[in-house]
Structures are given as C-alpha cells and as structure tokens.
Structure 1
Amino acid sequence: MSGYPHGVAQATRTDPLRVLEEIKRQSLEALGGLPGTLYGPVEDALKLAALKSDGKVNHYEEQAALWVLRQHQATHVMRFRQQVAQSFDDFRALRIRSGGDVTLRLVDEQQLEYELASGRLNEALVARFARPLDTLQSRLQTLADAMRVPMGANPIGPERLVAAFSQTLLDAQVPDTLRGRLFRFYETDLIRVLGELYARINTLLATSGYGGAAPAPRPPQEDLRRFQDDVLVPTPHMGGFGGTHDGFGGQHSPGPVSAAGAGNFGRTLSTPMSQQDIAAMASELSQLRSQLHAWRDSVPRADSHGMPGSGFDRSVGQRREMRVDEILSVASLLQAEPPDAFARALAVSGRLGETIRDHLQDGARRLGLNPDQACFSAEEEDAIDLVALLFDSLFRHNALQDRARRLYARLVLPYVKVALTDNAVFVKREHPARRLLDAITEACEGNDGETPQDRELLDRATEISQRIVAEYNEDLAVFELAHAELDALLAQQRRRFELQEQRAAKATYGRERLGAARSQAENALHERTGETTLTQAVADFLAMPWRHHVVQTLLRDNVDQRRHAEAIALGDALVMADRLAQQNRGRELADQLLALQPAIIECLASSGLDDSAAQHGLAGLVRALVDPDTSRRVRPAAPLSVQEDDTGEAERRLWLAGGTDTVRHDPLLAERMRALEVGDWVRLVDADGESAAAKVAWVSPLTSRFLLVNRRGLRVLAASAEELAALATSGRLTIGAERTAFDEAMRQVRRHLDRGTGTR
C-alpha cells in the first residue's frame, strides 16, 4: 500500500482547510480504533502473567478493572476520537486556546499518576520521532500561515495523543499496575502507527504546496564528524563503502555534509543519537571490517573470489576502481531481473559472494564498463562480502522453507545497494532496512503455510520483497513503510503466538502434574500390595478404582490435602478389612465395611460408575470378604497403561528416563542452563540437523524443566537443565542467542570471520 495521496494538486497550493480535513480524516482512520484495540492484548498479558506466577500473584483486581473497561469500550473509543478531533479544532483556533486566568485547584492522586505516566510516554515518543516531528511542525506552520491563524500545537503530536488517551481513561477506576500495562501497550501501538502516519502526512503537506523549510541538521562534534559524514551520512556518489580509504576504511568526505547527505542522515537516524552511541557504532564497524579484511587475507583468492578482475587483483596498473555510483547503476539495472542465480547460490554455503560479483560484472559489461579495465574497490568488496555473509547466515541459522529462498534472493541486490550507500545497516539496530529483514525473517521462519494466517504472512512478505525491488532507489523510506505494513500484520499474529505459548505451557504443565500424580499413586499402591497377601477382589479394587481415585484427588484437589489423605486412608482401611476377614473377625469386619461404604462408593463414582454400579461393586467386594477361606497371596499390580502424549518421538528421546544420573552432562554447564530465564533465546539444532531460534517460554514449578518454543509459539522441546547441558556439549544447543534474526546473523558472521582467521 503506498503512503502517497492521490488526486492532490502539485502545481499550486491546495485549499488549506481541505488539506487539514484530509489530515484529520487520515489521522482518525489510523488512530480511531484506540484504545479499544488495547484491551484484548492486555487481557492476554494478564493471563500470561498469572500463568508464569503459578497462582502466587493475584491479578483479580486488574482483571476486574479490565472487565469494566471492556464493557465501556465503545464509549472510550468515541471519547478518544472526540479528543483527537478536538485537537484539530484547536489548531484551527475554533476554540479559545487561553481562557485568561487559570483557577488553581488541587490535583487528585489519580490525575497526578496519569500526568506522570503521560509525561514519560510523551518524552519517549518525542525522542523516537524527532526528525519527522520537526519536519511536520515546519509544514504545519506554513499551513497555519495560509489559514491566517496563529500556530497551535501539533494536533497529532505525541503530547496531544498522550493527553487524549489520559483524558479518555481519567474517570475510570484503573489500578496502578493495569495503568502501566495500558500505557505500555498504547506506546507500542503508537510506535507501530505513527511512523507511517507521519510519513504520509508530511508527504501530503509537501505535495499540496505546504513543504515549509526543512529543519537544519545539528552540527556534529569535530572528533566524530568523519564517522557521521562517512558512515551515517552516505550519498549515492559518496557511499558508505566507496571512495578514498580512511581510518575507518570508509569514505572521507572532502567537505561539509551535502544536502542529499543530510536528507539521508534524517532517514537513517530517526532518533537523536548521543556521541557515545556514534562512537560505539564507529568502533563496532571498524572492528567488523578489520575482521573481514583478516578473514579475506586468510582465504585463498580462488575461494574468496573465484573470478578474474576481482577488486583484489590490482597487479595490472591500468585497472581503475569503479565508483560507487557506477556500481549502484549496475545494481539498479539488475535489481528487477529474476533472482534465480542468487537463489541457487543460497543453497550452497559460501557461493553468494562470488555470484554477486559475477552478476555485477556482467551488468557492468552491459552498461559498457569493461571489467578488464575496472575493478571493485576494497570498500565495495567489503559491502559485497558482508551482504553475502549476512544472507548466508540468515538462511543457514533460521528454519526457512524453500519458498523463502527465492524471497531472500530477490532482496540481495537491494541490500548490496544499502550497504554501498549506508554501511550503518551492519551496526545500527534501528536501521529501517535491518528492521525490515527482521520482520521478513519472523514471518518466514518455521512457516510452512499450513494455516490461512501463515499463508497470509508468506504472501505479504513476498509482496513486500517485490515492492522493495520495484521501488527502492537509495531512499530508505521504502524500507520504513514496508516494515510498518508487515509489522502491523505481525503484531496481530504475535498475539496468536503468545496464546499458543500459553497453551503449550498449560499442556506441558498438565502432563507433568498427571505424571507426578500417577507416580505418587503407583508408590502408594506398591506400599500396600508389594508384600501383603490379599484376596483377588481387594487387590483388583486397589489396583484399579482406588489407584485412579488417588490420581484424581491429586489432580483435582491438590490444594485440599484432606481429600488426598482420605483416599490414602481408604486404601489402608481396605487392607485392614482383608486382614480382619482372614482372621475370621466377622463383627469387626462388618463394622469396618459399614464405615467404609460412603468412601468406597465415592471412590467407584470417581471412576465413572453411577450409584447403581457403585453399589454392585461394593456388594462384590463384601462377598469376597465374608468367606475367611478365600485364597490370599501377594498380588503385585500391573503398571497403569499410560496414553501416549502429543510430543514427537524426537522430543521424547531427549527427555530424562530415570533421573539426571542417566544423562551424561557437565555440571558447570548445567548450572548455566539453570540460570536461563523466561524470554531468553537459544539456538537449537533439531534431530534433522536444522538450526532454529528457540525461546524459553516457561519453567516448570514441578520438575524445573524448560519449555522451548519457536518464533511461532509452537513447542520445540521440553527438557531439564541436565538435558540442555548434554545438548550444548554435543553442539546442538547454543545459549546467548540474539532476540532478532539480524543481530543473530551478524553474531554468526563475526564467529565465521574469527574461525576463518583462526582467532577462536
């Protein structure tokens, strides 16, 4: 979906009132569902918190308050829309902005809490959207001048949107903890929506003739100017990896930042960065390139390049280094062509870099550039190698299906162009191209398209990759809009994945409780039948109805220990009744059976027998005990048949069979595994040798086992710390994995470079 408006005149200014009404319409369309869309995710978060706390924390007050909020959802949505609409009226000066003297009054505690929460949220949003807000403020000023009204507050600025949310819920009785959750989810939704909304509104104002003056970039400090100009402010003619080799291995700009560079700087750094962050990024990039150069020097030329005319074969003096703009022109020419060559290269580890070079040189020939007379510069070689290693790592270390290979192959050349013009993509975690690749990987990893939702994700990711190929021309806004669209769909799917995590945790916990209850019942039965001579009727009763009754009391009445004690006492009383019958103590036996009648009937009823069948079973038991000469012997009970659970065979083989002593493991490594917390990520190699990311979703309060799920919330493994240590020793488990696919891929790239140079 394009973010550009249609039917807006560009030659002359459009009527300012019509423009303001269009901004109002688009804003209400994007924001109008709030705050009603928050209640469902907040409810899911409360359920997850209750599950993780295992009943130790009472969330009843929050759940009750949330239930009341959901009853008034329509009212809250209408009130919020009215608040947003009122902000546009204030901007048009239709309301009196100052009422003269302000009456002083006391602020109640609840309003004070809302104001504090609003202030924190407003600061976070202003910092995140600083650049588009500066541009929007300038263009709204031009719009206000055209309407001949004094400039008011930005009607869709963070301050007004946060105030609208606070005013909407001000009269509701919301506990402090629930208020915090609501503000956090509101912030998440605003971040998801505002980036695309501000881009569309800025574009609308600009194309309607209200461009205003672009805000001047802040002057960087002198000691960091080189990194800001060369690494964070690339231009099509002075790319991040092109030009003269300087201290960072990048382009040293001969003069101040150009206008084009400043514009790219605004797109790349949507939030202000501190000097420490910039210095850290410069150091990280410098270290990465040093690793890359050391790795390239350690690899034979035929393996690292595999082609004549490589940028590293500079023995021929006549060969010149191609400029970045020439490489960009070649890449743009090839970008729309079928990505079959890249798809085949992704299927063979280490071939992608060679394929990219062959492809670019072939394109250079078609543009009239003779590869025998021109070669890639060292910085261009860096960009090609890093993109090749990145995509190869993404495809090797994520559970991606064959369909995803062509999707990723389609993105290879656009990301080569990004790396040539803006190498901050490798070190800046908020880079739009980086975030888009994370979202695409999240949509594709482990997705085999079995459900309609999964197929929708795959189709949308494919569509977005095609759009990047068609629209990307050194403007990172394409990545921002594409990420916003895909992330909006993923946000809906993440709620489904969270529910799947909860169901997986509940199912695992239920199986563990059942297993523990059966184990206790087996032990109790063995204590009473292992060495005791019993009649067949009593032994059968204890082995079947009574053992089942003990399991039921443990599962259903786990908190009420009295019920379990009564069930155990029934088993002891039946053994005693059998002994009384053997000793021909008829009166005591009769009294015993009469006293046990209610408990025996209840025991039989728990096995599904109605009152008539229970009475019949009791009668059979009495008949067997009235004859003292009935045969008695030790009757060990057969193990209770256990129904197979729904775990896979590969997973069952990893579970402990007879205790931790049956698994050989490193105790120190097992201690590290015990330190894993819910939300930590690991990398797990399954029985088929495929690597995939897995998250610790739950830790069992009964067995301390860890439940690992994939990015789609589906169970991957349930194992103890000792089993995880054994997997880590065998190289099938790696702890400390990054949360996002791009970060993990870059970590794997660094490890690959270190292994290639023998530094690790």
Structure 2
Amino acid sequence: MSNSPLGVVNATPMEPLRVLEEIKRLAVEQLGSLPGMLFRGVEQTLDNAVANGMAGPGHFEDLGSLRMLRQQNATLSMRFRQQLAQGFDDFRGLRVRHRGDLPLGLIEDDQLEFQLQGQRLAEAVLARYQRPLEMLRGRLTTLSAALGTTGEVNPIGPERLAAAFVETFRETEPTPSVRSLMFRQYEQDLAMLLGDFYGRVNTLLASAGYGVASPQAQPREAPRPSQPQGFVHDTVEPRERPATTGAPDPGWSGFDAPTGAPQPAAPAPAQPAQQAELREHVAQELADLRSLLQTWREGLQQQGIGPARPAAKAPAATASTATREMRIDEMLSVASMMQHEPPDAFARALAGSGRLADTIRDHLTDGARRIGLNPDQTRFSAQEEDAIDLVALLFDSLFRSHSLQDRARRLYARLVLPYVKVALSDESVFVAQDHPARKLLDAITEACEGNQATTPQDRELLDRAAAASQRIVAEYNEDMAVFELAHAELDALLSQQRRRVDLQEQRAVKATMGRERLGSARAAADSAVIDRLKGQRMTRAVADFLAEPWRHHVVQTVLREGDEPARQAEAFNLGDALLEADRLAAENRGKELADHLLALEPAIVQCLASSGLDDSAARHALAGLVHALATPDRPRNVQAPPPRAGEAEDEGAEERRVWLSGATGAGEPDGTLVELLRGLKAGDWVRLTDTQGEVVPAKVAWISPLTSRMLLVNRRGMRVLAASVDELAVLATAGRLVLGTESTAFDEAMRQVRQRLDKAVGQH
C-alpha cells in the first residue's frame, strides 16, 4: 500500500518555486480584496448604533473617519496585496532587514494600539485554526528545505496576516472606534475565508509532494514477519509505525507523532514514562474490547446468526483445500478497490433492512473474488472480523442514538469501507480521543444531526459534510492527512454553527428564565390579592381595583424591581392602604378618608399608569374610585378571588404532560436515581426517548433558581424540555432517560457499543 501524502501521484515533488508562486497567487486572489470589504460592515455597525440609541458623542467624527478611508480604498487594497506578496519574499529570504536598517524612535499611542490589536487578532486566528496551521507549518518546512531557505515565517500565518493589516492602515489615523470596528470586521471576514483557504493550500502542498515529513527522509524499517500488523503490537518503541500504512500503530495511538506530523494541542509534551503509560492504557482497552467482541461473536454463532467462517465449515479439509487467513494488506487492497463503488447496500443496512456487518463481509468477500482470492480457500482473520464488527456496531449506534435524517444515511454509507480500512490499520481509533478519523466523524455527525435543511446555513452544512465524506472516499489511501484536512475544512464552518447554537441556547435560557420570572411574579401577585380579599367585606370598586390594576402593578414591580425589596414593599403596602381607605369609608370618617386618599394619590396614579393608562385616564379612574369610597352606605360584600393567572398560563405544563405521557405508571422512582439526577450540572448530557421512540441527546443548559427545573436543549440549542428532578426521575424509571451520555457522537456511540457487548456477554 502507498504511504504517500494526500493525493500524491508524482514520483518526485513538483518544482518548489512554482508551488510557492501558486500559493502566493491563491493568497492574493482570495485575501487581497479584504480591505475593501471592511467598510460596509463598519458602516452597518455604526448605523445600528444610531438605530438602537447607542451612538456615542463621537459618532459624526467616526463617520468622517470612515468616509476618508473609503476614499483611499484603491490605495489601501493595493498596499495590502503588496504586504501579502512581501510575506512570500520574506519566506524565500529575498528581503532581509538588519537591525541597523530599522528606524529608531518612540512609538506613538495610536500606533502602539495598532500593534496591540494586531497581536490580539493574530492570537484569535491562531486559536481558531490551530490544527490546519500545524499541518501547514510542517509542509512549509519541507518546502523551505527544498528551496534552500530557513522559511521561518509562515507567509499566510496569523502573525503575517495581522502584520499586513496593521502595515496597510497604520498611517490612515482612523478614530479609536473605527479602528476597533475595522479589526473586528477583519477578523470576521478572515473567519469566513481561512478555513477553505488553508484547506486548499494544505491540499496543494500535499498533492505537490510536500508532506509533513521531509521528502528526503529515509524509509522506515519494515515490520518483522513475526510481528502482527494492525491492532496490537508487542513493541513499545516510541516512534515506529508499520511501513505498509500511513496510519499510526496502536502503540503510537496518535499520542506520539513522528517529527513534523500534525499533533493535537497539548499543555506540555508527554514524558517517556507518560507515553509508555498511555500506550499501555490504549493496548489494555483494545485487548478488553477484542475479548468482548470474541465472546459476543461466539454467542451469535451458537445462535446461528453469526458470521459463517469457512474454517468452521470444513475442519477436516485436506492440505490442498485448507483455508488460510487473509493478510491485512490483502484486505486493505480489497477495501480500497471497493470504497469507490456506490454505497447503496450499506445505506439499506443502516436503514434497518439488514445487518451492516453481514453486508460489509459480503462486499469484501465479493471484492476478494474479483482480485483472484478464492473465498473457499481464504477467510477473515480474527483481527479483520473485529474491525468489521466494530465499524458495523459503531455506525449502527450512531443511527440509533442520534437524530440523523434520510439524507445523511447515504453520506455515512460512503464512509463504511474507509473506516473499515482505518480500523484494520489502526484500531486505536476506537479508544484514542484525538484520532483524526474519530474527530471527522464527530464533525460530520454534528453537521447532520437534527438538520432538516430548512435554512441556507443548514443546507450549506449538509453540503460541506457530504463533500467531506466524498473526499475521504476519493482520496483516502491509508494516509491520515486526508482526515485531518477534511476535518479542518468542515470544522471551520461548524465554528459558525456552534456560535449559532450557543446563541440559540442562550435565547432558550432567557426565554425560559423570563417565563419563570413572570410566572413567579404572577403567583406572588395572585397570593397577595387572595390574602387581601379572603374574608374581607369591601366595596366592589376596591375589590376590582385590587384584582386588576393593583395585581398588574405588583407583577410589574416584582419583575422590574426584583433586587429592591423596598420598592416591592411599597407596591404591597398600596393594597393594604386601599383596604384601610375602604374601612374608613365604611365608618363614615370622611375627613380621615380624604387625607388618606390625598396621601395615596401619587401611588394610585403610578399603579394605574403601570397598567398602560396615560395620566388623564389614570386620574379619571382615580376619580371613579374616590366616588365609590365617598358613599358610606354602598354595599360591601366578601368578594370571590380571581383565578390564579400564574397557573393558567404555565406554558411548560403541556410540554411536561406530553413528555410524561405513558411514563407515570412505571413505579416509584428510586431514591438513588433521584440523587443522581439532583447532581446534574449545566453542561451535562442525558439521552431522552420521546413518546414516538425517537432518541434525543439533550444537554442541561440551565437550572432554574426559582423552581429548580432543568432546561434541556438538543445539540442545535433548541429547547427540548424543562422539568423538575422528580419529573425527570419518572422518565428515567420508565427507561426513557439515560444518564452519562457523552458529549461527542463517537464517544457516545462507543459507550453504547460497550454496553451492548457487556450485556450480550453477560447473557452467555
């Protein structure tokens, strides 16, 4: 099998200067127009500030500064392109400035602010695109070696892009507000372009023969014949990998990459002892997983539903007809040949029409026949059986535990054979958290889960996920770089989706919080009205005032003045004062009543105004109340309390009723279960099953300080359910809520695979 970088078909790398010029052309073409794109976004932000009443005193000065910048648009765009091109000259070492060439002097405050904001911009871009930049750094190092230069500066890295922006606008002297808005807009525009741009440059370098390892590197020693290829290796040497594949061996597990290879960000490099401990941990997990698989498969064979293996059919075969196990390289050849074919059979198996593992075996057996391997004389090895079964169980679990639409089924079906190849060459994908193939599958599931393609953004996500799967099918040839690149490109778009999900989640939290605060305020007002009407004989006018304007005033005061007990006390005291006025009127104490009402007049007018009455209408209503109280012999009766509006308008009651439908007869919740649910925190994940049997992964987004209800949202930030611990315990007792759900799709699917194997093993 080839161990060449992504897309390499040339025997030798392309001429390095021509590759560098092509990257330069792409940079100027895709990024060169950014300065001219800034002004519209900055202007829109300034206009929004005026529309929202948030414009500062320097607004007109900001508009003037922006107008001056617009007039220099052509010059600034040309200067920015020159800065981009200059970065490539620096990379080649054509422009070397010595310390004596630099002018000395003090830096002015505005230029210093430019530098500081440029540094912050570079740090933000670096954090966002760390993985593709790590890959790009390794490939540019190989390119610079071919050019015979040091290549210390990445010509399209965050530092260079920030420096180009700073140098372009340094002398323009924009106002501080406009300068900040320009940096913010530049960062947003970069975020829309860099994911695709870095992906194209990485692909260009890889296809030109400039991988992360030097083209002149010596070939690795081939593995000893006695050493098993694939999952578990006896060696613990830190940097050896099988020479026949581009994937790391399980001992390596993605934790100790070869020099120049892209590595996941880590706080500090692992020490040799830690590396050995990690390898041992990975090997132990794989051994446990394989043991479970073997026992599970034996149980299926005893039931007559397991995979039929030729060796089991003919134990007394002669030497001429004896079967042999297929080698890993043979299996990889078969899978590589078959991965480009239509995935219809896998899609049907994922739809539930058949076992996916059997379909994979049938395809690989047919492929083996095509390349001349007689199925009657060959069989899958235990390692190959494990790879097939684990991939099948993984994909089955993904479709059982995630809301994946029909359109996504074919997308995943394309990936089945490539992931079988990954499992054959590096089984650590099932246990190593940072494996590239694992991260790509997480990203694809994040893009597809619950995606109904109802918005342009959702459709773009689906299209990008489909493109990632097609890229894997077209380009994967045991080189993990293709997974890295596909993940980097998809993740760049997903970062925007995550921001939308965060905003949606915040909206759900704020809406739920607002409804609960409103419900709490209404409940407080209802209780206050009932307490003052209960058993009290009063005029109809006072009772109506308490039940309507005063109740509404209490609700508004509790909502707006929740942190000021004194203001709330004033609102509640007004109700008591009205009862006192009615008592004075009943006792015909006219002078005291008049003084009392004069003192209450401002509070009564304010109360009426909070109900939406203007000053004239409020005073007219006050006059009606005074007229009613001025008649001592007006009838006074015990008034019936109004219905509790807080309970009548509980919007979540119907939602909880639907979710709890059919779950209340499951028995009394266990006390231990209730305590576990009570220990959930914001950010924890659970798995819900609705009344139609659909599984919904849900996250605890917020816990109400008023009612202790937990707000659960799905992976797209949409509200699923707001329920108390006791209500969630009812769902858990009915088997429709499961704790301990993992935050990523791959982790959750593997957790379910282990549970399924454990359960099956426990039954045999």
TM-score by length of 2: 0.76
Matched, 1:200 2:200: no
Q: Show the counterpart of 2:22.
A: 22
Q: Deviations over 1:168-214 (max 9, x none)?
A: 9999999xxxxxx99x999999995786255235237548xx99943
Matched, 1:651 2:656: yes
Equivalent residue letter for 2:263: T
Q: Tell me the SS of whatever aligns to 1:695.
A: strand
Cα pair 1:139 1:212 within 8 Å, conserved: no
Equivalent residue letter for 2:656: E
Q: Show the counterpart of 1:91.
A: 91
Cα pair 1:694 1:709 within 8 Å, conserved: yes
Equivalent residue letter for 1:280: H
Q: Deviations over 1:245-304 (max 9, x none)?
A: 9769x9x9xx98537558997699621884243333223222221222222233334555
Matched, 1:381 2:385: yes
Give the drift of 1:578.
1.1
Q: Deviations over 1:655-674 (max 9, x none)?
A: 99xxxxxx964454444334
Cα distance in 1 for residues equivalent to 2:160 and 2:293: 48
Cα distance in 2 for residues equivalent to 1:169 and 1:680: 46
Q: Show the counterpart of 1:581.
A: 585
Q: Show the counterpart of 1:234.
A: none
Q: Deviations over 1:324-349 (max 9, x none)?
A: 33333433444344433323322339
Q: Which runs of 5+ in 1 are unaligned?
A: 41-59, 175-180, 231-237, 657-662
Matched, 1:500 2:485: no
Matched, 1:240 2:230: yes
Cα distance in 1 for residues equivalent to 2:105 and 2:311: 76
Cα pair 2:347 2:413 within 8 Å, conserved: yes
Q: Tell me the SS of whatever aligns to 1:299.
A: helix
Cα pair 1:707 1:717 within 8 Å, conserved: yes
Q: Show the counterpart of 2:375.
A: 371
Give the drift of 1:652.
4.7
Give the drift of 1:376.
0.9
Equivalent residue letter for 1:203: A
Give the drift of 1:380.
0.7
Cα pair 2:138 2:260 within 8 Å, conserved: no
Give the drift of 1:546.
0.8
Matched, 1:300 2:301: yes
Cα distance in 2 for residues equivalent to 1:723 and 1:80: 60
1:401 and 1:720, CA in 2 relative to 1: closer, same or farther beyond 3 A? same
Q: Show the counterpart of 2:263.
A: 271
Q: Tell me the SS of whatever aligns to 2:26.
A: helix
Give the drift of 1:632.
1.6
1:123 and 1:720, CA in 2 relative to 1: closer, same or farther beyond 3 A? closer
Q: Deviations over 1:115-140 (max 9, x none)?
A: 89989998999898666534421321
Cα pair 2:209 2:215 within 8 Å, conserved: no
Q: Deviations over 1:651-694 (max 9, x none)?
A: 355699xxxxxx96445444433443332222222232222222
Q: Tell me the SS of whatever aligns to 2:698.
A: strand
Q: Show the counterpart of 1:54.
A: none
Cα distance in 2 for residues equivalent to 1:267 and 1:746: 30
Cα pair 1:135 1:215 within 8 Å, conserved: no
Counterpart among 680, 686, 708 of residue 676 in structure 1: 680
1:422 and 1:15, CA in 2 relative to 1: closer, same or farther beyond 3 A? closer
Matched, 1:693 2:678: no
Cα distance in 2 for residues equivalent to 1:313 and 1:156: 63
Q: Show the counterpart of 1:346.
A: 350
Equivalent residue letter for 1:258: A
Equivalent residue letter for 2:453: G
Matched, 1:283 2:284: yes
Cα pair 2:391 2:420 within 8 Å, conserved: yes
- What is the total number of aligned residue pairs between the two structures? 694
Q: Deviations over 1:682-734 (max 9, x none)?
A: 22222322222222222333333322211111011222334334433433333
Cα distance in 2 for residues equivalent to 1:666 and 1:121: 50
Cα distance in 2 for residues equivalent to 1:755 and 1:268: 43
Equivalent residue letter for 2:155: P
Q: Which moved more, 1:486-495 or 1:263-272?
A: 263-272
Alignment of 1:285-684 (within 5 A): 285-307=286-308, 309=310, 316=317, 318-348=322-352, 351-641=355-645, 644=649, 647=652, 649-652=654-657, 665-684=669-688
Give the drift of 1:357.
1.6
Q: Show the counterpart of 2:737.
A: 733
Q: Deviations over 1:76-121 (max 9, x none)?
A: 9989977655432323444333325999999999999998998999
Cα distance in 2 for residues equivalent to 1:344 and 1:140: 49
Cα pair 1:134 1:215 within 8 Å, conserved: no
Q: Which moved more, 1:412-421 or 1:478-487?
A: 478-487
Q: Tell me the SS of whatever aligns to 2:352.
A: coil
Cα distance in 2 for residues equivalent to 1:744 and 1:396: 11
Q: Deviations over 1:348-380 (max 9, x none)?
A: 398211222223223334444332222111111
Cα pair 1:665 1:723 within 8 Å, conserved: no
Cα pair 1:696 1:707 within 8 Å, conserved: yes
Q: Percent identity among equivalent residues?
A: 54
Q: Show the counterpart of 2:664.
A: none
Cα distance in 2 for residues equivalent to 1:12 and 1:389: 41
Equivalent residue letter for 1:309: P
Equivalent residue letter for 1:422: D
Q: Show the counterpart of 2:254.
A: none
Q: Tell me the SS of whatever aligns to 1:682.
A: strand
Q: Which moved more, 1:741-750 or 1:97-106?
A: 97-106
Q: Deviations over 1:610-630 (max 9, x none)?
A: 334333322332232222222
1:745 and 1:151, CA in 2 relative to 1: closer, same or farther beyond 3 A? closer
Equivalent residue letter for 2:243: S
Q: Tell me the SS of whatever aligns to 2:95.
A: coil
Q: How big is the alpha-carbon RMSD for the aligned residues of Structure 1 and Structure 2?
A: 5.1
Give the drift of 1:454.
2.1
Alignment of 1:116-155 (within 5 A): 133-143=137-147, 145=148, 153-155=153-155
Q: Which moved more, 1:106-115 or 1:311-320?
A: 106-115
Alignment of 1:215-230 (within 5 A): 216=217
Q: Tell me the SS of whatever aligns to 1:479.
A: helix
Q: Which moved more, 1:580-589 or 1:405-414?
A: 405-414
Cα distance in 1 for residues equivalent to 2:729 and 2:202: 49
Q: Show the counterpart of 1:50.
A: none
Q: Tell me the SS of whatever aligns to 1:718.
A: strand
1:351 and 1:280, CA in 2 relative to 1: closer, same or farther beyond 3 A? same
Q: Show the counterpart of 2:243.
A: 258
Q: Which runs of 5+ in 2 are unaligned?
A: 42-53, 178-183, 250-256, 662-666
Cα pair 1:583 1:628 within 8 Å, conserved: yes
1:120 and 1:604, CA in 2 relative to 1: closer, same or farther beyond 3 A? closer
1:500 and 1:261, CA in 2 relative to 1: closer, same or farther beyond 3 A? closer
Give the drift of 1:501.
0.8
Q: Deviations over 1:33-80 (max 9, x none)?
A: 99999xx9xxxxxxxxxxxxxxxxxxx9xxx9xxx9xx9999999899
Cα pair 2:7 2:475 within 8 Å, conserved: no
Q: Show the counterpart of 1:43.
A: none
Q: Which moved more, 1:435-444 or 1:561-570?
A: 561-570
Cα pair 2:468 2:486 within 8 Å, conserved: yes
Cα distance in 1 for residues equivalent to 2:389 and 2:16: 52
Q: Which moved more, 1:114-123 or 1:363-372?
A: 114-123
Q: Tell me the SS of whatever aligns to 2:310.
A: coil
Q: Tell me the SS of whatever aligns to 1:400.
A: coil
